[in-house]
Amino acid sequence: LFGEDQGRWSCRDQLIKMIKDEFIPTEENAKKLETWNATGGHSPIHCDNPNVFKLGECAVNCYTQWFSGLSCPQHDIPVTEQYQIASAKLLRYNFIIILDMLGDPDYAKAVENFFGVPGVTAKRGAACQRKSRQANKMVPLVIKNETMERLIDLNKVDIGLYKELTDCLDRDEDNNYGFPKFKPARFSNVSVKVPYDKYVEWKAEQNGGKPVRGEELKRITVISDEADE
């Protein structure tokens, strides 16, 4: 099984008790960022079910593990090979949204134009979000330089994957992102419905003048697009 709740404090066992003042977060009862350095967060992954991966319970090359689907120890696959598999899977997608770039208004607008809908930056609540923020405000996290450098070193493969997927995000000569824009007309119903009796006559002609059996007609759907006329 994966390790249990991997935050500084357990949402299920600790933070939930803050509601009734049965738990007070302190530096002493918090898990340390210095130990957040394993494939499963504070501890290595031990996955009895290789089809399950929890991104929130990971600290090392999490996206490479997630997208490759080969992070469990029993697979014994080097992380560099996992990277190649993760990259190949991701590059099959037509569009990949870089979440941290949604803070750029121009990028967010380009994404909205692509899908033809507004509100991609609207924030949503997450499980245990309010209590986690309250606890972190009471006991602010202090990140040491050596801890940051250690995490960067441990996540070199993920950083490389991120750079590969974002290096193409250049702006055009008008300083805009070159995403195509959604065109509603492409999805409008421009088909022409063929009357059933006309279709039967046409099908009989195609069949050498012989009537077409009912069972055969049931298996056939004809849609004529105006663009082809």
pLDDT above 80 (res 51): no
What mean pLDDT do residues 73-102 have? 89
Angstrom distance (rounded) from CA 31 to CA 8:
5
Highest mean pLDDT among 38-42, 82-86, 205-209 belongs to 82-86
Angstrom distance (rounded) from CA 91 to CA 154:
24
23 pLDDT tier (thresholds 50, 70, 90): very high
pLDDT above 50 (res 67): yes
Angstrom distance (rounded) from CA 157 to CA 128:
30
Return the structure tokens found at 108.
């967010």
Write the pLDDT tens digit of every residue in 184-229: 776 666 666 677 777 778 777 877 766 665 545 544 444 444 444 4
What mean pLDDT do residues 144-160 have? 94
Write the pLDDT tens digit of every residue in 89-103: 999 998 899 988 998
pLDDT above 80 (res 26): yes
4 pLDDT tier (thresholds 50, 70, 90): low
> Are the CB atoms for 196 and 99 separated by under 8 Å?
no
Return the structure tokens found at 9.
């404090």
In the predicted model, what is the mean pLDDT of the chain?
80
> Are the CB atoms for 15 and 32 separated by under 8 Å?
no
Q: Cα dist. 10→30, 61, 105 in Å?
A: 9, 23, 35
Percent of the chain whose pLDDT exceeds 90: 28
pLDDT above 60 (res 158): yes
